[in-house]
């Protein structure tokens, strides 16, 4: 009980990491993050906001429950499915280079690998319209669930595809429906490797991380730990367990990467400004189709409508969730961007809280 009392105080009053600017509602955003911590919805929350040339970072909460050390605004975290946007960007760069087209059948580049690969195109894979069954929906294969010692098991992409293909497709005709499936981005990673002859992670580093100077973003492979500093990721079972360390190969190109809020803001801003692909490829990435009520989906990009007083405003980016870590990275493509990393505590932070912070950033 003593630890919980002290923790509640620390979570509510962790200091702002960078000064406010006139065009960024820093006080409001800090208070909203601190409220999540006080409500025990998060153990730590990191935020980075950009408005044109102005930037601001903040952190609330603690790095770990045992020591109560304040969370760091430049802390590392697992970005989960935002990895998909990196993988998709590399494939769009390869289309710009003439190595493939979005309407190529997967079979052309990965012969014999994907069932019905002659009808499933690269576009279907990147847009989650392939119908390929999600291997993570199978028991024991989701990194959003506590897996005990199994979280340190190593996996290969071929093992993950074997699990997915054992169940058959989720719908008969590619392109007829939309269904989120991590299997698609295992295929995307294999496409990158087949076309370049190099590991997909090395291509992410060469084509995105180094050009943008994203020195705090990494593709960990089988490394179970996170770089320092970082906030620990927890899961209530109902007793709280530490889920931070794990072998991320179960996610691979669908969700293994590690980053910081500043790096992710730089990435989504550069992508939507056309610095990473041709304008034609960016247009294809932003060609959305209906997905779920909360968002529409393009090629490795989600589009959200932020509820502003003068009407909904679109933002693009991606969300990521992996046990112990929830991340969102959005930009309006006009100079404003928001990245959040949240570490759930006794419950997942409510969607409304994230929307309220997005509203504060994009509706001003």
Catalytic residues: 81
Integer Cα distance of 248 and 259 in angstroms: 14
Q: 255 is written with which tokens? A: 């969700």
Integer Cα distance of 136 and 183 in angstroms: 8
Own/partner long-range contacts of 315-320 (Cβ < 8 Å, ≥24 apart):
315/358, 315/362, 316/268, 316/272, 316/286, 317/82, 317/85, 317/268, 318/81, 318/82, 318/84, 318/85, 318/268, 319/80, 319/81, 319/82, 320/78, 320/79, 320/80, 320/81, 320/82, 320/83, 320/255
Integer Cα distance of 84 and 119 in angstroms: 22
Which among 227, 229, 262, 232 has a CA at the least distance from the CA of 44? 232
């Amino acid at each position: 009980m003593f630890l919980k009392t002290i923790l509640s105080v620390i979570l509510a009053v962790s200091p702002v990491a960078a000064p406010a600017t006139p065009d960024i509602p820093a006080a409001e955003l800090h208070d909203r993050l601190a409220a999540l911590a006080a409500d025990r919805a998060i153990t730590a929350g990191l935020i980075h906001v950009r408005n044109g040339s102005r930037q601001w970072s903040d952190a609330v909460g603690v790095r770990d429950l045992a020591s109560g050390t304040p969370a760091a605004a430049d802390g590392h975290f697992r970005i989960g499915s935002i990895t998909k946007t990196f993988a998709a960007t590399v494939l769009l760069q390869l289309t710009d280079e003439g190595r493939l087209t979005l309407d190529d059948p997967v079979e052309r580049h990965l012969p014999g690998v994907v069932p019905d690969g002659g009808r499933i195109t690269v576009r279907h894979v990147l847009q989650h319209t392939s119908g390929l069954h999600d291997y993570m929906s199978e028991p024991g294969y989701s990194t959003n669930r506590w897996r005990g010692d199994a979280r340190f098991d190593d996996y290969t992409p071929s093992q993950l595809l074997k699990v997915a293909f054992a169940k058959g497709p989720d719908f008969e005709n590619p392109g007829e429906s939309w269904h989120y499936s991590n299997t698609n981005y295992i295929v995307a990673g294999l496409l990158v490797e087949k076309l370049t002859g190099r590991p997909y992670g090395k291509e992410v580093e060469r084509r995105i991380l180094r050009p943008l100077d994203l020195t705090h973003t990494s593709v960990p492979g089988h490394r179970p730990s996170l770089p320092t500093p970082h906030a620990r990721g927890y899961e209530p079972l109902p007793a709280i367990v530490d889920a931070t360390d794990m072998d991320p190969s179960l996610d691979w190109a669908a969700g293994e990467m590690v980053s910081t809020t500043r790096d992710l803001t730089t990435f989504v801003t550069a992508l939507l400004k056309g610095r990473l692909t041709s304008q034609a490829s960016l247009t294809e990435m932003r060609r959305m189709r209906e997905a779920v009520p909360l968002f529409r989906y393009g090629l490795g990009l989600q589009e959200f409508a932020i509820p502003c007083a003068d009407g909904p405003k679109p933002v693009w980016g991606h969300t990521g969730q992996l046990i112990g870590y929830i991340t969102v990275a959005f930009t309006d493509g006009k100079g404003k961007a928001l990245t959040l990393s949240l570490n759930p505590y006794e419950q997942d932070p409510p969607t409304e809280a994230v929307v309220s912070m997005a509203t504060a950033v994009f509706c001003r």
